[in-house]
Structures are given as C-alpha cells and as structure tokens.
Amino acid sequence: MALSACSSVGTLFDGGGANAHLAQVEPLMVQHDFEGALREGQEVLALSPKSPPGDEALFDMALVFAHYANPKKDYRRSIGLFSRVVKEFPRSPRVEEAKIWIGVLESIEKAKQVDADIEERKKGLVK
C-alpha cells in the first residue's frame, strides 16, 4: 500500500528532478537494491528538503530500513525517518501512516527489549 502510494505521488508531481529520483526508489526496492533506493531517496531530499516530495522520500527510506529482506534492517532508524515525516511534514498525507508504522515498530522494539531483559535475568539466575 505504501509502495503504491509512493508511485502515484511521483506521477502526480512529475515536473522536476526530485520526482525523477523518487520514481527510481520503488523499482530499486522491488529489485532489493536497498542501497540504490536509499541513494535515490537522498537525492530527492537534497532537492526537496522541506517540501514534497521530500516527505515521500523520507517515507520510502523509512520503509527501506523496515523492509523484511534488507540485510541492514534497522527499526530504530526506520522509526526516526517516520518521525521526521510526522514532524517535518505535518500536513503530508503520509503522517497518519507514518504514525501507525511508528507504533508498530516501537512495539516490536519494546518486545525485543522485554526478551533481552528476560534473557538477561535468566542468565543472572543461572549464575
């Protein structure tokens, strides 16, 4: 759903270089070229840091870090990018979606922390 949203936005505002770069992000992600996708996203941010399609670029980059196949998957960085969408682009249509992602990823991180704490306690008990 997010990926399809990304492509539709790129089609609507295809008038500058930023949109051209944004249009490359999704195909690269589908090809599992995550480095390339991030690079294209950075190009978009460099061209539109405070305006659309900068929000789309941040959203797509957040998805790259949350992607199940990304070997450099990083939920913390993903949460950070989704948070930037919410803070830096409060009127973006991606804000609500970003909030949902933040909630899900934070739950996952907290659960991971719970597991880590439990394992730590278990080790302490074994000693």
Partner 1 sequence: MGYLLLLILSMSASFYAIFQLGRIRDVIHSIILVDTSIVDIHKNLTDALLSETRYEKKFVIMNDPALYDGFVGANREFEDLLGQAVARADSPEVKAVLNGIEDLHYEYRALFEEEAGLLRAGQRYSAGWYAEVKDRFINGLFEDLAQVRSLSQLNIVKKITSLNRAGASATNAGMIITAAALVAGIVISILITRSITVPLARMRKKTAEIGSGVYEADLELTSPPEIGALAQAFNFMSTKLKEVDTMKSDFYALMSHELRTPLTSIKEGTNLFLEGHGGPVTEKQKRLLTIIAEESNRLIDLVNSLMDLSKLEAGMVPYHFIEADLPPLVARAIVEVVPLAEAKQIRITKDIGEVPRIHLDPERILQVLRNLIGNALKFTPSGGSVSITVGRREGGVGMSVTDTGPGIPKEHQAAIFDKFRQATLVGAVKIAGTGLGLAIVKHIVQDHGGTVWVESEARQGSTFTVVLPVRS
Query: Does position 116 bind partner 1 by CB under 8 A?
Result: no
With tokens 């934070």, the residue in question is 106
Query: Does position 111 bind partner 1 by CB under 8 A?
Result: yes
Torsion sign over Cα 16, 53, 18, 2: negative
CB of 79 to partner 1, least distance (A): 15
Q: Closest CB to partner 1 among 1 and 125?
A: 125
In the shown chain, the binding pattern of residues 53 to 92 toward partner 1, with x for contact by CB under 8 A and - for none, equals ----------------------------------------
31-55 burial, b if ≥16 CB within 10 A, otherwise e? eebbebbbebbebbbebbeeebbbb
Stretch near partner 1 under the rule CB under 8 A, chosen from 46-54, 68-76, 84-92, 118-126 = 118-126
